[in-house]
């Protein structure tokens, strides 16, 4: 295990506030020891449980203290008691799950509250009506088909081998309680920077609409604690908050502004005017609210943050070959393929400090980007990318049944069942919505290497329409159908191949490298093959190969207009030993200073 995994206890497991983009001061962390049981999925709730499990670590992980698999015909049960603080009386109580893989049902005090399907997205239940005074019993039942299902699952398989890893089932991110005002509260704040207009677009969504014209949203943008701008807008309306002379976000200067959103009551902006004659959605309405006066205390208030940055495509130095731009200027994007797996905790990072160590290592090594590979991280991971300054290509987790994947040379996409496509698109949209506010995320990756690829052109257009503020990588590697903003090749040859020029899209090397070095004493399983795309046995051979591969990237950047390079990979993972770090994060295979020196020509 890594040093951070060795430090995890039931008392310190993931104590940080789990949702940095929408913060309220009151909450209750439910991580820690729960009861668990594994039973056939045809059975009802168990009366006797098998033991205790450490939440939020998956049942298969070492840190869960269970380390048992869950097959497709079983159900994993969780149970614990909670007491609601007395000062939450009169408010609604939400029970939040950072992520549960894959399908779950929740009972509170014996009543069925609801269900959720999807392994990577945060969700919540309003449990207010099921609560009683004193102790309340929570029971969660979870099923997970893993490779026997078509659902998005990333690299999880029942038989881990090669590039496929140990399954993850059940709760694998923070569980927490939150009180919110009754009956109306702020459920979502959606922030989109509009750099060229010197403003941010802000949409504050309530749990249900309020038609009363005296209900308004007050937005305050701050530089630290100093107000930059403030405005009032009618609830249910889009707001445009000016940010003049903005400090721009970049990997070299990751500046973040603070934002406060308040649900308030104002004096009637249209006194003496009949409802039907009141202005709606126009300058007169905005002017009326600008002059309104807030009365009383806010009904609800949350804090968030944002950055002023723009990611786009534009002309580069090679005639006719577009490149990626950050804040309207060309910037080469250099990063690793980042799987996000840990030896003792699998998909769940062991701690905040562990995540920060990795991001800091990458920054110091001369990387300004990472490709988060077919996995969605906890919200705090992206928060650290935002504040530390590293761009993220966010993959959609793959999911498919045998026969639904494309080969390297295929141009015809296999058919997918309607329900499989519906679930993929539901989870893709959820991922984009949940992560929308993070300035570090600059690219959405729809499909990887033909794995479950379908309707790629349609999906790339759909993703671009949903979020025109970012670039879209329709297909990373293998089966390019001309969609999206990228032409992305994967090349694991000793000397990487050069991608063909494209006049309509940027060209990137979405995966290359794969230099393997099995470091004795730091292998997840010494009896495995422990492979790399090319495998060496000492640091000198590894360094020579790395210089060769990155020398080719520099040549492509200077002569071919390549916009980005993604090196495989940040760490060893299970039987893969092609990481810059060993799986336990104890050995840095190439010194940080050397990595930075090798990467430096990409930024000249």
- pLDDT score, position 42: 97
The model's confidence at residue 272, banded by pLDDT at 50, 70 and 90, is confident
- Tokens 């934002």 identify what position? 259
Three-class SS of 536-549? CCCHHHHHHHHHHH
Q: Cα–Cα distance between 220 and 222 in angstroms, integer?
A: 6
Q: What are phi and psi of 168, to 5 degrees?
A: -130, 125
| 506 closest CA partner among 314, 336, 368 | 314
Distance of CA 51 to the CA centre of its chain: 32
Find the helix or strand (DSSP H, E) in which 565 lies: strand 564-568
Give residue 319's pLDDT: 83
- pLDDT-based confidence at residue 211 (cuts at 50, 70, 90): confident
Question: What b/e sequence results for 391-428 when a residue is b if at least 16 CB atoms lie within 10 Å of its CB, and e otherwise?
Answer: bbbbbbbbbbbeebbbeeeeeebbebeeebbebbbebb
Averaged over 512-522, what is the pLDDT? 96
Mapped onto helix, strand or coil, the DSSP state of residue 147 is helix
- Residue the block writes with tokens 């980005």: 564
Residue 499 pLDDT class (50, 70, 90 cuts):
very high
Query: What is the average pLDDT value for the chain, to the nearest integer?
Result: 96
Average pLDDT for 243-256: 98
What average pLDDT does range 358-377 have in this prediction? Answer: 98
Pick the residue with more confidence: 317 or 385? 385
- 3-class DSSP state of 439: coil
Residue partners of 271: CB distance under 8 A and separation at least 6? none
Tokens, residue 492: 């694991």
Which pLDDT value is given to residue 276? 63
The pLDDT tens digits of the residues spanning 180-194 come to: 999 999 999 999 999
Range with the poorest average pLDDT among 243-247, 296-300, 356-360, 410-414: 410-414
pLDDT tens string 427-437: 999 999 999 99
Distance CA 254, CA 385 (A): 9
Report the distance separating Cα 267 and Cα 271, nearest Å: 9
Residues 88-143 pLDDT 10s = 999 999 999 999 999 999 999 999 999 999 999 999 999 999 999 999 999 999 99
State the DSSP code for 59. Answer: T
In DSSP terms, 35 is beta-bridged to 52, 79
What is the distance of C-alpha 181 from the center of its chain?
Answer: 28
Domains with residue ranges and CATH for the chain: 5-180 (2.60.120.260), 186-298 (2.60.40), 326-602 (3.20.20.80)
The pLDDT value recorded for residue 63 is 98
Backbone CA torsion sign across 337, 338, 342, 346: negative
pLDDT of residue 273: 74
Give the 3-state secondary structure of residue 125: strand
Name beta bridge partners: 37.
Answer: 77
What span, in angstroms and rounded, lies between the C-alpha atoms of 495 and 145? 40
Long-range contacts of 461-464 (CB under 8 A, 24+ apart): 462/425, 463/428, 463/432
Residue 275: pLDDT band (50, 70, 90) is: low
pLDDT value for 549: 98
In angstroms, the CA 576 to CA 547 distance is 21
pLDDT band for 408, please (50, 70, 90 cuts): confident
Token output for 303: 């804090």
Do residues 346 and 330 lie in contact, with contact meaning Cβ atoms separated by under 8 Å? no
313 or 411: which leads in pLDDT = 313
- Report pLDDT for 314: 95
Which DSSP category does 588 fall into? B
**In a 10 Å sphere around its CB, with 0-12 CB exposed, 13-18 middle and 19+ buried, how is residue 582 labelled?**
buried
Cross-strand partners of 348 = none
- Residue 277: pLDDT above 90? no
CA distance 391 to 389: 7
Of 186-190, 391-395, 403-407, which gets the smallest average pLDDT?
A: 403-407
What is the percent of the chain with per-residue pLDDT over 90, rounded to a whole number? Answer: 92
Which parts of 333-454 fold into alpha helices (H)? Answer: 352-364, 379-388, 418-435
Cα(584)–Cα(184) distance, rounded to whole angstroms? 46
CB contact at 8 A, 587 and 551: no
Can you give the pTM of this predicted structure? 0.97
Q: E-strand spans in 251-368?
A: 253-254, 257-266, 294-306, 311-315, 322-326, 329-330, 333-338
Task: Give the mean model confidence (pLDDT) for residues 576-585.
Answer: 97
Q: Count CB atoms within 10 A of the CB of residue 192.
A: 17
**pLDDT at 171 exceeding the cut of 70:** yes
CB within 8 Å of 96: residues ≥ 6 apart: 18, 19, 122, 123, 124, 174, 175, 176, 177, 178
**What six digits make up the tokens of 86?**
């007395």
Smallest CA-to-CA distance from 154 within 480, 400, 382 is with: 400
Give me the sign of the Cα torsion angle 62, 65, 67, 72: negative
pLDDT, mean of residues 315-332: 94
Residue range 521-529: mean pLDDT, rounded: 91
Burial class (CB in 10 A: 0-12, 13-18, 19+), 65: middle
Residue pair 22/304 in contact by the 8 Å Cβ criterion: yes
What is the mean predicted confidence (pLDDT) over 589-599? 98
The H or E element containing residue 489 is strand 486-491
Q: Among candidates 222, 238, 332, 227, which has minimal Cα distance to 280?
A: 238
- Inform me whether the pLDDT recorded for 375 exceeds 90: yes
* Location of structure tokens 């997970």: 144
Query: What distances in angstroms separate CA 36 from CA 51, 442, 527, one per listed residue?
Result: 6, 39, 31
Burial of 555 (0-12, 13-18, 19+ CB in 10 A): middle
Instruction: Name the least confident of 126-140, 278-292, 373-387, 407-421.
Output: 278-292
């Amino acid at each position: 295990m890594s040093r951070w995994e060795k430090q995890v206890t039931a008392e310190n497991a993931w104590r940080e506030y789990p949702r940095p983009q929408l913060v309220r001061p009151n909450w209750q962390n439910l991580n820690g020891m729960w009861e668990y049981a594994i039973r056939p999925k045809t059975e009802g709730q168990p009366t006797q449980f098998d033991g205790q499990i450490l939440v939020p670590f998956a049942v298969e992980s070492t840190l869960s203290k269970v380390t048992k698999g869950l097959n497709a015909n079983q159900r994993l049960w969780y149970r614990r008691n909670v007491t609601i603080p007395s000062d939450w009386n009169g408010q609604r109580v939400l029970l939040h799950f950072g992520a549960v893989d894959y399908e779950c049902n929740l009972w509170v005090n014996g009543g069925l509250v609801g269900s959720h399907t999807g392994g990577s997205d945060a969700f919540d239940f309003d449990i207010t009506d099921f609560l009683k005074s004193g102790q309340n019993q929570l029971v969660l039942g979870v099923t997970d088909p893993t490779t026997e299902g078509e659902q998005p699952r990333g690299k999880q398989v029942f038989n881990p081998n090669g590039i496929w890893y140990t399954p993850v089932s059940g709760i694998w991110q923070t569980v927490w309680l939150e009180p919110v005002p009754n009956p109306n509260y702020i459920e979502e704040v959606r922030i989109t920077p509009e750099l060229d207009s010197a403003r941010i677009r802000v949409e504050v969504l309530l749990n249900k609409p309020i038609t009363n014209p005296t209900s308004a949203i007050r937005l305050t943008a701050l530089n630290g604690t100093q107000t930059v701008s403030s405005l009032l807008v009618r609830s249910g309306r889009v707001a445009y908050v000016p940010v003049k002379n903005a400090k721009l976000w970049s990997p070299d200067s990751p500046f973040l502004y603070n934002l406060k959103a308040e649900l308030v009551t104002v004096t009637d902006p249209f006194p003496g005017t009949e409802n039907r004659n009141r202005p709606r959605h126009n300058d007169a309405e905005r002017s009326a609210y600008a002059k309104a006066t807030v009365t009383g205390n806010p009904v609800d208030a949350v804090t968030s943050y944002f950055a002023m940055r723009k990611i786009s495509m534009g002309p580069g130095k090679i005639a006719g070959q577009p490149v990626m731009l950050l804040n309207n200027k060309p910037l080469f994007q250099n990063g690793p393929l980042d799987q996000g797996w840990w030896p003792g905790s699998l998909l769940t990072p062991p701690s905040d400090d562990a995540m920060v160590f990795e991001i800091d290592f990458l920054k110091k090594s001369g990387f300004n980007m990472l490709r988060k590979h077919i996995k969605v991280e906890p919200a705090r991971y992206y928060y650290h990318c935002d504040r530390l300054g590293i761009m993220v290509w966010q993959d959609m987790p793959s999911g498919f049944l045998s026969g639904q994947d494309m080969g390297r040379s295929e141009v015809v996409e296999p058919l997918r069942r309607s329900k499989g496509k519906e679930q993929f698109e539901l989870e893709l949209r959820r991922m984009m919505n949940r992560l929308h506010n993070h300035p570090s995320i600059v690219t959405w990756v729809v499909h990887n290497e033909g794995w479950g690829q379908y309707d790629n052109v349609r999906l790339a257009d759909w993703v671009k329409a949903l979020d025109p503020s970012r670039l879209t990588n329709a297909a990373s590697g293998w089966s390019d159908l001309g969609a999206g903003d990228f032409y992305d090749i994967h090349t694991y040859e000793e000397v990487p191949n050069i991608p063909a020029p494209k006049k309509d899209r940027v060209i990137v090397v979405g995966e290359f490298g794969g230099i393997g070095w099995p470091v004795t004493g730091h292998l997840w399983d010494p009896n495995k093959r422990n492979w790399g795309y090319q495998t060496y046995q000492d640091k000198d051979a590894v360094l020579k190969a790395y210089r060769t591969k990155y020398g080719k990237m520099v040549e492509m950047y200077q002569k071919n207009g390549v916009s980005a390079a993604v090196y495989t990979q940040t760490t060893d993972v299970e039987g893969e030993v092609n990481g810059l770090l060993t799986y336990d994060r104890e050995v840095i295979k190439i010194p940080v200073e050397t990595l930075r020196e090798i990467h430096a020509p990409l930024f000249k």
